[in-house]
Each structure stands twice: as structure tokens, then as C-alpha cells.
Amino acid sequence: MAEMSDSSLDKPTIIQQAIASCCGAIITSLFVTPLDVIKTRLQAQSNPFSKGKCFVYSNGLMDHICVCENGDSKAWYKKPGHFKGMLDAFVKIIQIEGIKSLWSGLPPTLIMALPTTVIYFTCYDQLSEALKSRLGKDNEHIPVLAGSLSRFGSVTVVSPLELIRTRMQYRNLSYNQLYTCISSKVATDGWFSLWRGWSSTVLRDVPFSAIYWYNYESFKKMMCKEFGACEPTFFIAFTSGAASGSIAAVITLPFDVVKTHRQTELWESETLKIPQRDCTSTWAIMRKIVAKNGITGLFAGIIPRLFKVAPACAIMISTYEYGKSFFSHLNEKNEKMNQHP
């Protein structure tokens, strides 16, 4: 049985891996979006957003910049409520606005998150297999290399799409206006202008990915050994995903703070027509944050980030592993049926 599961015929195909990651992304966003809607409402209650101010909304899969027009934002942030805590906010939002309100802004997330997740997870598995055949099955550098390269690739591919999505979402541009806006931007600033903000995303996501996959594969191997399992169960994948996601989130938090700072500053300068400052490099922004708020400023929002990243990583990886296991057993079953018609 162990020999059969190792055969390349039983392994999920690229299409099957893509389907598994797609299901993982949908389930993750369905579970994590309400958490961030509630977090944003609670945040707005203690510190209301003024007109033209913006905030970054992230639901475990991707970020959205939300700008408040007239002190209000249509989807993620509505009028500040009077909530006593997370559970109270959850109940009151359902009672007053209806259950659908907990999934505010889900469609734009899925449109962008699905291709990103499919590219990322499928590339990771394909690269891991290729590296295993070259470096040996148990080489501990494989998760780091495969995780970094797959994340680098997915961020690079999706970066222009994210810029386009942001422009469309907050300026209500038609496709013709959008085309004119992008073509004039390319004409004045060149093609590289479509990858604006790419470096801060890479600095946050590539180290996160390397740390995440290294720890995930280590925890998974250790727990499989502990429980005597030949392949990861849903519980093993869930626990390993939550633990490795939390570690990676804490280590890379300074880069996340810089990315949020850069996104909001850029958006506010465009919306409020404030001339943008020269302080644009990642290290310059870091120095500025440290000078203003001390070293702890780089770790701002650590608790909300952990509350979001840990379940998002756990749900995503366990759903993905379950999907791959399902397809691998299906392939094995089909192979046996073909051998004994």
C-alpha cells in the first residue's frame, strides 16, 4: 500500500492540485472573512475613520485598501456600532444588517485570491517534486526553496492585476477609462509602473512562505511519526498549518507593517491630493516607524494578525492536503479498476 501511494501514477495531477487549492481558498475566505469584518468594525468603533482616510482590510488570503468617503465605506466598514466585544459584534451585525454582511467584499477577494492561490500551491508541489528528484527526498532545504520561488512567482504574476483591481474598485472606472488610465501610466512611467508596491509585497510574502513551509513540513513529519500515520490526517495538517503560520506571521510582521503603511500613505496621497513624501524605500519607512513609535511600532497589530493568519493557514493547508489525499486515493482506485476490469 505504501509502495502504491508513492507511485507517480497515484499522485494528484496538476489539475487535481489546482482544484484542491481552489477549494481551500474558497473555504478559507468563507471562514476568515467574518473575523476581519468584525475586527474592522471594532477598530472603527474605538477609532473612527475620517473622510478620505483609508485602512487595509485583509481576510487571510489577500489585502484590500478601503477608503472612507464621507466617513463611510460601502462594503467593509459601515457606521461605527456599539459593540462590547467580538461575540456581541457578531450577533448584532447579523440581527441589524443580516448574515450576508459578515461576508462583505467576498467577490473581489475570490476573483483575485483564487488565481494567486492556485499558482502558489500548485507551483510549490511541482517545485518540491522536481527538487526531491535532484536533491534527495529528505533534503530540508526543499520547502524553503520551493516556498520562496512559488511565492515570488505568484506575487510577480498577480501584482499588475492587484493594481488594476485597486484602481477599478475605488474610482469606479469603466473598462475604457481603466485602459486609458493604465496605457497613459505605462507611457509616462514605463511597464515597471504596473509592479508598483511589488517589492514590499515580496519582502513580506517570500520570507513568510520560506519560514511557513519549512516549519509546516517539519511539524507534519514530526506529528506523523508521533501518531504513526503514513500520510497527514486533517488534524495533523490543521495543527501544523496553524503553528507554522503563527511563527511566520510573527517573524515577518515588520514587513507587513511597512506594506500597510506604504499602501495607506500612497492611497491617501492620491485621494486627498497630498504630495507624496520621498520616504518610499522599505528601510527608510522602517527607520521612520522606529523613530516615531520605537521598535514595538514594527510589531503593531500582532494579536489581530495572529487571530487571522493562524486559522487562515490552518484551514487552507488542511483543506488542500485533504483534497490531494482524496484525489490520490481516487487515482489509486481507478488504477486498480483498470488493472482488474
What number is the average pLDDT over the span 131-139?
87
The predicted pLDDT at position 66 comes to: 63
Q: Cα separation of 193 and 187, whole Å? A: 10
**pLDDT tens, 8-25?**
557 889 999 999 999 999
- Alpha-helical segments (H) within 136-276: 142-171, 175-189, 198-227, 234-251, 253-271
DSSP run (H or E) holding 54: strand 54-58
Residue with cell 461605527: 80
Which residues on adjacent β-strands are paired with residue 72? 69
Comparing C-alpha atoms, which of 66, 67, 49 is closest to residue 57? 66
In degrees, rounded to 5, the angle at the alpha carbon of residue 279 between the alpha carbons of residues 274 and 280 is 95
**Nearest partner of 200 among 265, 266, 256, judged by Cα:** 256
- Residue 21, number of CB atoms within 10 A of its CB: 25
Query: Given a cut of 70, is residue 172 above it in pLDDT?
Result: no
Going by C-beta distance under 8 Å and a sequence separation of 6 or more, which residues neighbour residue 284?
A: none
d(CA 339, CA 341): 6
For the chain, the distance separating the N- and C-terminal CA atoms, rounded to the nearest angstrom, is 20
Residue carrying the nine cell digits 509502495: 3
Please report the DSSP string for 60-128 in residue order.
SS-EEEEE-BTTB-SSS--S----SSHHHHHHHHHHHH-GGGGGTTHHHHHHHHHHHHHHHHHHHHHHH
7 confidence band (pLDDT: 50, 70, 90)? very low
At how many degrees (to 10) do helices 14-46 and 302-339 cross?
160
Q: What cell was used for 161?
A: 492585476
Confidence at residue 245, expressed as pLDDT on a 0 to 100 scale: 94
Mean confidence (pLDDT) of the chain = 78
Length of the chain: 341
pLDDT at 71 > cutoff 50: no
How far apart CA 267 and CA 273 sit, in angstroms, is 9
Residue 230 near residue 5, CB atoms below 8 Å: yes
Closest Cα partner for 77 from 85, 67, 88?
A: 67
Alpha carbons 204 and 148: distance in angstroms, whole number: 11
Taking only the tens place, the pLDDT of each residue in 281-314 is 777 888 888 888 888 888 877 887 788 889 999 9
CB count, 10 Å around CB of 273? 8
Please state the domain extents for the chain. 14-70+79-323
**Residue pLDDT, tens place only, 21-58:** 999 999 998 888 887 777 767 766 655 655 556 656 56
- Rounded distance, CA 341 to CA 333, Å? 12
Q: What is the pTM of this model?
A: 0.78
> Are the C-beta atoms of 335 and 8 separated by less than 8 Å?
no
Please state which CATH number belongs to domain 14-70+79-323: 1.50.40.10
